[in-house]
Each structure stands twice: as C-alpha cells, then as structure tokens.
Amino acid sequence: MLTTLNAAALIGIDAIRVAVETNVTGGIPSFTVVGLPDNAIRESRERILTAVKNSGFEIPPKKITVNLAPADIKKEGTAFDLPIAIGLLGSLQLITRRFEDALIMGELALDGSLRRINGALPVAIMAGKEEITRMIVPLSNAAEAAVAVSASSSGIAVYGVETLNETVALLNGTLQLEPVTVNVAELFNCEEEYPVDFADIKGQTAAKKALEIAAAGGHNVIMIGPPGSGKTMLAKGLPGILPPLGFEESLETTKIYSVANLLEKDRPLMITRPFRSPHHTTSNVALIGGGTTAKPGEVSLAHNGILFLDELPEFSRTALEVLRQPLEDREVTVSRISITTKYPAGFMLIAAMNPSPAGALKDRDGNLTAAPQQIQRYLAKISGPLLDRIDIHIDVPKVENSDLFATSTAESSKLIRQRVIQARRVQQERFASLTPRIYTNAQMSSRQIKSFCRLDKESSEKLMAAMNRLNLSARAHDRILKVSRTIADLDGSGEITMKHLIQGIQYRNLDREFWSF
C-alpha cells in the first residue's frame, strides 16, 4: 500500500516541502530510501525499525520503499525519521485516518521517543505558505514552530509530541492534544539583560560618543588602543545602546539560530541582538559559513547584531579578506557543485587592536615598544580594502588615573539608547519609500548618498581637501558622508553642516599617519 505525507528539507535558512512516499509490497524483505538522502537518512533504517518495534508495532517481512520527492534535491539530517516511520505504519494500515494534510518532522530514539530537530522555525514558515493544516513536531520544538504560525496567522495547528506512540494516537484520533500557542507580545515584554552598562566604563568619553554614532547609523567600527584601555568592555557595552529587535528582525535572526541548532530550549524567539565574538584562531569556514554540510558561520549568527573581532591583526589574512563580501553585500553566498546557498549577514563589525605587536605603542619613557618596521608589518596585516569598509576608526587611549578614581557617574546605556532610537526613527522615516527597503544610514547605496547626504559648497571643498590630503578612496568618501549623516541625525539636523562633516572626517584615523615614530 502506498502512503504520502509531508516533511521538509532545509536549504540555507529556508525550507522546501518534501513528499515522503512509502510503499510496502510483497517480495524479498528490504528497506530502501531513495531521493538523494544523506548518510544520516540512509542510517535511519535501523533507528526506525527498532523504534517501531520498541513502540509495540509488528513489522512483517515486506519490501519497503521510501521516496523523498523532489528527488533532485539532497535531503539531510535525522528529522525524516518520524515521517518515514509514520508513512510505514500508514502503509501497514496501523494508522486508520488520512494524514495527507499534515507536516511531520522528528528524530527517533531507539525507544520510540522523539529528539529535538534543527530548523523547526523555517519549516513552520514554509508550512504556512502551503496547503497544510497540521504540523507535528517534537514537543521541544513546538513553541518554536508556533512562533512562526503566530507571525503568519496561517491557522496551522501545531502539535508537540514526545513519542512515536503519541504521534500515532494523535493521527488515529485516540489522543486529544491542544495545539501549542505562543504569545509573541509577551516574549518581547521580557526584560533585556546586558553584561556591561556604559555607566560602568570609566573615562573614554570620546570612544563612547563614537560608539553611540555607530549604533545610531549601524556603522562598522575599529578601536585602536593599548591593552587595558577598555576596548573589549566598550564592545560588550554596545548591545545595550542598540535599538531593540523588531519582530521581523527577530524572526530573521531566529531562523538562523534554529537551523544552526543554537536556540535556547526555553526561548523560542531571539529577542536580543546577537553578540558574537569568535577567537582569532577561527577558521575561514567557521567565520563565513559553508563546509561539507553547509552551515551558517559567525557572520550570519551575528545577523542584526554585532560581530566582535578582538585582536584583529591576529586573525589570518585570508579570514579577514573573506569578510569583505558580507560587509559590502550583507549576505554570504556558499557555492557547491550541486547547489548555491545564501545566508544573511547584516551585522555591525566591531574590531579591536593594539597599536603595536608589543601592546602599547610607547613605554613609560616614551620609547617605541617595537621597531618601526615591526609595527608597520603588524598594521599591514589589515588590508586597505578591509579598512575602507570600516566606517569609524576610534583611538582608545589609556584610562587616566583621575578617571579611574572619579566618583561622578557616567551616562547610562539606557539614556544613550533613547537618543539612538530617536536617530533610527528619523532614518526609518527617511527611507520609508525606498525599494528595496533599508533601515540605517550605513546601508545607503551611492545613489542614495547623493540624495540624502548633500553638502553645501564650503563643505564639499573641505571634503575634497581632506580626500587629497589623506589620499582617500571613493569608498572612504562614501563612508565619511554616511557617518556625517548619522551625526547630523543625532544632532537633530536635517542638513549635514561643516561641524558634522569635520567630525566624520576625524573618524578616519587609519587613513592618515596616525602613528608618528
């Protein structure tokens, strides 16, 4: 007997519908899965048969054939265990009701219990666009899938089950379960917690202001300063001044974490902006994504959040160079012979480095800590094209003792965040009519820069003089205008004035002779 039910395969962070066709006939006993299954699916034969038997069902010696259609797309992972098992039981007429309208996913343990799967959120989003009325997933994935149903208002009933027996009973109508629902608004009402408040950071007033500008416009930043000056602490405090995630942003970010199996079990939706800080020994594939089985890398896990690269020159040159495409395009393209996958990578890059391989540029006596040639080689590890893509260069000097022992309280992250939110609101109104939609000044194209970053004659001459003196590239020119536009937004100005432009030019430290030896 032939049965057909619905499952899903992941391609990047999206899902496509897969028909699981199961046929049981007489003949030499066998169990064959076709339709480009990977090794995990091929090995599912033993898991499924053992789980079915341990759940109390008898499997007669028959010829079992399972087809995963469309057959030209590779299927990966263990989430096909449950739909194959249900298809098998349906073909043996142990499930008496029709289930063609259901989408079923889950990994089976040998005792018939169900384990958590990857990608339940994108699968549920796909199901909302198809003619599917029920979705059955492991109980640990049910809230995650229900979030997507709430977002799309598709009317799909999401059921969470813990065992194969529960699934069969639910399909046969002998077990009544309430569909799982999630109150999305309640999730966003949770109090956000951040490890560092700007009020806790001593001194560094100029650096804090630069990070406020970066947060307001979504700009990339590099901080240069000696060890112990607070670069890492400043970076960790940045999430606390960024605007809260909107629902659409949250859904995009959660899809990535769902596919990567990094969602917290008790939190089905990402409500805080991600902060990723990979070690400098991280490989190119781990940073960008890909691999034999393509997975999102750190740049995608930082989508709508922050990618913090501490000790930037210690990263390999190739790892830094592969950042250039996602910084420009806000997405990563992973190409393989059989398929090309795209992952979103709209992150803020926050980098930190010392001014010398020895740490501080000069010692207490004012002498260089390393030879000038060593310092130049150290700085040369960061290429010009990469620096061009970093909007703001910040000098983070050693904290003065007077600042360390000061009793006055600095501005809190909460106060700074209010100014950032207001500046972002101005940008959203400015770009509301654009297609495709952009949300921050950092995302402006060259054409949009001409429209929204106009300068008067005096300011244009000032910028031209700065470009000639600093030998700036066309990309650096655009970055200066974007940063100046953000400074003007924070200042409540509709036009970019001379003072906004001069401040924007001053944030190009690495484009001039910053170190005098």
* DSSP character string of 454-516: ---HHHHHHHHHHHHHHT--HHHHHHHHHHHHHHHHHTT-SS--HHHHHHHHHT-GGGS----
Output the domain CATH number for residue 91. Answer: 3.30.230.10
Instruction: Provide the domain limits for residue 78.
Output: 2-182
The answer to whether residue 78 is domain-embedded is yes
- Give the separation between CA 324 and CA 320, rounded to whole angstroms: 8
Q: What pLDDT, on the 0 to 100 scale, is given for residue 515?
A: 47
Type of residue numbered 177: L
Q: Where are the beta strands (DSSP E) in 198-305?
A: 221-224, 275-276, 289-290, 295-296
Q: Could you tell me the CA-to-CA distances from 19 to 79, 167, 506 in Å, in that order?
A: 13, 18, 59
Q: What pLDDT, on the 0 to 100 scale, is given for residue 301?
A: 95
- The size of the chain, in residues, is 517
**Cβ 177 vs Cβ 127: under 8 Å:** no
Among 517, 451, 511, 452, residue whose Cα is nearest residue 477: 511
The answer to whether residue 112 is domain-embedded is yes
For 96-129, the DSSP string reads -S--TTEEE--EEPTTSBEE--S-HHHHHHHHHH
Q: Is 343 helix (H, G, I), strand (E, B) or coil?
A: strand
The answer to whether residue 176 is domain-embedded is yes
Q: What pLDDT, on the 0 to 100 scale, is given for residue 338?
A: 67
The answer to whether residue 86 is domain-embedded is yes
Walking along the chain (517 residues) 10 residues at a time, the average pLDDT comes out as 92 92 90 91 92 93 93 90 95 89 95 94 91 92 89 82 96 92 82 84 90 96 91 94 90 93 86 93 88 85 95 90 89 78 92 88 79 85 86 88 74 94 95 89 93 92 90 89 96 94 87 50
- Give the separation between CA 141 and CA 150, rounded to whole angstroms: 15
Q: What pLDDT, on the 0 to 100 scale, is given for residue 405?
A: 74
Q: Are strands 107-108 and 114-115 parallel, antiparallel or unpaired?
A: antiparallel
The answer to whether residue 157 is domain-embedded is yes
138 CB-near residues (< 8 Å, 6+ apart):
105, 106, 107, 114, 115, 116, 117, 160, 161, 162
**Cβ 69 vs Cβ 19: under 8 Å:** yes
The answer to whether residue 54 is domain-embedded is yes
Residue 364 gets the label, from left (phi > 0), alpha (psi -120 to 50) or beta, of alpha
Q: What pLDDT, on the 0 to 100 scale, is given for residue 345?
A: 93
The answer to whether residue 88 is domain-embedded is yes
The answer to whether residue 403 is domain-embedded is no
Domains: count for the chain: 1
- Regarding pTM above 0.85, the answer is yes
